[in-house]
Amino acid sequence: MKKYILIIFVLSIVIGCEDVVEIDVPKDDTRLSIDALIRIDTETSTTRVAIKATETTSFFEEIEPAVLDQIQLLNTSSNTITDLVEDPSDSGVYVANLPTRELMEGDFQLNILYNNEQYEATTTFVPTVPFDDVKQGDGTLFSEDETEIVVSYTDVANSDDYYLFDFGFNEYLVSEDTFYPGQSFEFSYFYEDGLEAGRKLNISILGVDEAFYNYMNQLIVQSGGDQGPFQTPAATVRGNIINTTDSDNLALGYFALCQEYRETVILE
């Protein structure tokens, strides 16, 4: 919604009637990619855990769902194991229902078996604070087509806190409390394209640890850079999912358990 990527795929350039110039596009090895951001509403008794597994493919090809041999969640504190099964209506998405209280306690390890290789990641639940207010503003930055959303919340004192904001349309923002510890904080977020009146916007605040904050910050910076459609990122953003069978064959993605508060704004 906020950013558009224009991809022009040049198959060949014909000069005169005979000369053909072929353009090679970069090809990357296929890698496993895991979206294991678990959003937890602590006011519910049960949480649906959904983990998406895909395969990164060569340049310009569609991303395909990955068929996992096994995927489990291990609570290393209680030594309980939960098997996830593929959602029959959503290929590549593996699901399970767990008690919310259990997800908030102890250390968790994600175990994946894929193509005879073992992948692991560990995390713990990270709490957050609710919004004080989320509302539509009337300000603009560069054009009259922008939509302003004003967000406010109060940080917890005496702790280092990190936040991830989800504004929908794959638009994210991260913040740390270095300059506002224990204080109320307000900021504006602008959607660049005009959104029609009556549209509902779901906006979330999630608690994250420092490592996930840094990971998301790198992703946001790379996606907002000046790289063209034929360029690849200068460096792969490495998450916390480790290939314990072959360390050179790294997986992409992240495993995190985050408390989430969500508010809905109806645009005027």
pLDDT of 128-142, one tens digit each? 999 999 999 998 888
pLDDT computed for residue 133 by the predictor: 98
pLDDT computed for residue 143 by the predictor: 79
- Can you say whether residue 198 is alpha, beta or left, with left for phi > 0 and alpha for psi between -120 and 50 degrees? left
The CA distances from residue 138 to 188, 191, 259, in Å, are 10, 12, 30
pLDDT of 11 over the 80 cut: no
Q: What is the mean pLDDT of residues 52-66?
A: 79
Q: What is the mean pLDDT of residues 190-197?
A: 87
pLDDT computed for residue 3 by the predictor: 41
Tell me what the pLDDT averaged over the chain comes to. 86
Residue in the structure block whose two tokens are 């294991």: 36
Q: In the structure, what pLDDT confidence band is assigned to residue 77 with cuts at 50, 70 and 90?
A: very high
Q: Identify the residue with better confidence: 247 or 193.
A: 247
Contact 80, 103 (CB under 8 A): no
pLDDT tens column, 111-126: 999 999 999 999 999 9
Q: What is the mean pLDDT of residues 186-195?
A: 90
